[in-house]
Structures are given as structure tokens and as C-alpha cells.
């Protein structure tokens, strides 16, 4: 009598789907172990190199410097309004309660930088590489980030009203609890960017927002922007 072959039974245990990989957050700045107190000799001049320094309430406003290199420095209450830094590199730095109004950071790079409780009104970060950046609790209305590329960046609890991100690379950037009324995103690359708890009323350049994630409660604020770009009149 021929042997009977028992048909193989399909595995009744469902395969566990792969877990969604969580996006990596910004790296924290590496604080200096024993920073030296900065003094008048640590000014922002061409080709200056500043490492492991603690800048207190110094007034460094109105400077115009190129090729400055700042590494592992802490700025606490430092004033830099109207300063121009071109081709600068800032890494592992902390800016707390600083005056950065109308600061111009041009064709420069910043890595592992945290900015908190600072005034950034009208500051311009143009054509820059910005990686591992956290901006928290700052007044950054009318700030500009045109043609800058972000990687692992978070804006949290900031006033960004009227800010411009034209032609910026914002892929994966997180905006959390920010006021973005009238902000400009025309020409930006934004796939993977996320908005949560944000005021998006009247933002411009919404056609650049393909691939972004917006919290449900934030979505109505985009209506005016969509209407304006599509030529729709909303009657009240």
C-alpha cells in the first residue's frame, strides 16, 4: 500500500511585520568639560578659532567676520545683533538667552547646535548646511532660512511668524508648537517634515508641502494658503 504524504500545513502564526524605524532626532551638543571664560581677546574677527569657551554677557554685535570656527562653546546672554558671519563653522555649541536679532549667517555650517530662549527676529541663515539643530522657545519672527539645507532639526515652541524658508531643504524637519502665520515655503523640499500644534494660518507656498505630515488640529490653518494659491475667494 503506497504511503500517504501528509500535506504541509501553512504556518498559522502570522509573521510579525517589521517595526517602523523611528526617525533619529538631533544629536545633542557636546558641552566643554572645563570651558574658559571668554574675554575681549575672543572677538569675532576673520579666521578666528574659538574652542571650549564660555561666552557670557559680552557684546559681539555688529561684527563682520569670515571663516570663523567655533567649537564646543557656550553662549549665555551674549549679544550678537546685526553681526555677519560668512563661511563660518559652528559645532557643538549652545546659545541660551542670546540676542541674535538680524544676525546674518551666510554660506556657513552649523552642527549639533542648540538655541533656546533667544531673540532671533530678522536673523538670516542663507545658503547654509544646518545639521542636528534644536531651536526652542525663541522669537524668530521674520527670520530667513533661504536656500539652507536642514538635517535632523527641530523648531519647538517658537514664534516664526513671517519667517521665510524659500528653496530650503526641510526634509524631516519637525515643527512643534510653533506660530507660523504668514511663513513662506515656496520652492522648499519638504517630504517627511512634520507639523504638530502649530498655527499655520496664511502660510504661503503650500504647493511645496507634498509629503508633509500635519496634525489634524493644525490642518484648518492651511485653508487660507491653499485658497490664495488656487485663486479661491472665501466669503465670510
Q: What is the pLDDT of residues 190-217, one digit of tens each?
A: 999 999 999 999 899 999 999 999 999 9
Report residue 116: phi and psi, to 5°: -140, 145
Which tens digits make up the pLDDT trace of 176-186?
Answer: 999 999 999 99
Full set of structural domains in the chain with CATH = 27-37+45-159 (2.160.20.80), 183-236 (no CATH)
**CA nearest to 175, candidates 203, 191, 199, 156:** 156
Is the whole model's pTM more than 0.85, yes or no?
yes
Q: Could you tell me if 162 and 183 are in contact, meaning their C-beta atoms sit under 8 angstroms apart?
A: yes
**83: which 3 cell numbers?**
553681526
Can you list the positions of beta strands (E) in 18-169? 36-37, 49-51, 53-55, 64-66, 69-71, 74-76, 84-86, 89-96, 104-106, 109-116, 124-126, 129-136, 149-156
For residue 236, give the DSSP letter. Answer: -
Which tens digits make up the pLDDT trace of 72-108?
Answer: 999 999 999 999 999 999 999 999 999 999 999 999 9
With a cut of 90, say whether residue 60 has pLDDT above it: yes
pLDDT value of residue 222: 83
Torsion angle, alpha carbons of 170, 173, 179, 184, to 10: 10
Amino acid at each position: 500500500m503506497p504511503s500517504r504524504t501528509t500535506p504541509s500545513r501553512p504556518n498559522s502564526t502570522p509573521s510579525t511585520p517589521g517595526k517602523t524605524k523611528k526617525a533619529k532626532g538631533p544629536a545633542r551638543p557636546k558641552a566643554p568639560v572645563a570651558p574658559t571664560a571668554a574675554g575681549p581677546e575672543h572677538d569675532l574677527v576673520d579666521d578666528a578659532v574659538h574652542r571650549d569657551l564660555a561666552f557670557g554677557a559680552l557684546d559681539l554685535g555688529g561684527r563682520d567676520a569670515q571663516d570663523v570656527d567655533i567649537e564646543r562653546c557656550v553662549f549665555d546672554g551674549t549679544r550678537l545683533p546685526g553681526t555677519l558671519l560668512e563661511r563660518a563653522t559652528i559645532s557643538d555649541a549652545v546659545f541660551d538667552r542670546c540676542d541674535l536679532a538680524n544676525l546674518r549667517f551666510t554660506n556657513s555650517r552649523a552642527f549639533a547646535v542648540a538655541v533656546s530662549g533667544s531673540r532671533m527676529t530678522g536673523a538670516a541663515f542663507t545658503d547654509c548646511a544646518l545639521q542636528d539643530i534644536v531651536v526652542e522657545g525663541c522669537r524668530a519672527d521674520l527670520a530667513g532660512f533661504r536656500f539652507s539645507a536642514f538635517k535632523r532639526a527641530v523648531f519647538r515652541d517658537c514664534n516664526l511668524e513671517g519667517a521665510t524658508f524659500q528653496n530650503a531643504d526641510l526634509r524631516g524637519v519637525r515643527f512643534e508648537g510653533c506660530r507660523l502665520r504668514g511663513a513662506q515655503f515656496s520652492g522648499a523640499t519638504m517630504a517627511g517634515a512634520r507639523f504638530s500644534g502649530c498655527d499655520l494660518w496664511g502660510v504661503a507656498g503650500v504647493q511645496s508641502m507634498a509629503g508633509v505630515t500635519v496634525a489634524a488640529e493644525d490642518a484648518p490653518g492651511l485653508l487660507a494658503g491653499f485658497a490664495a494659491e488656487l485663486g479661491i475667494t472665501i466669503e465670510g
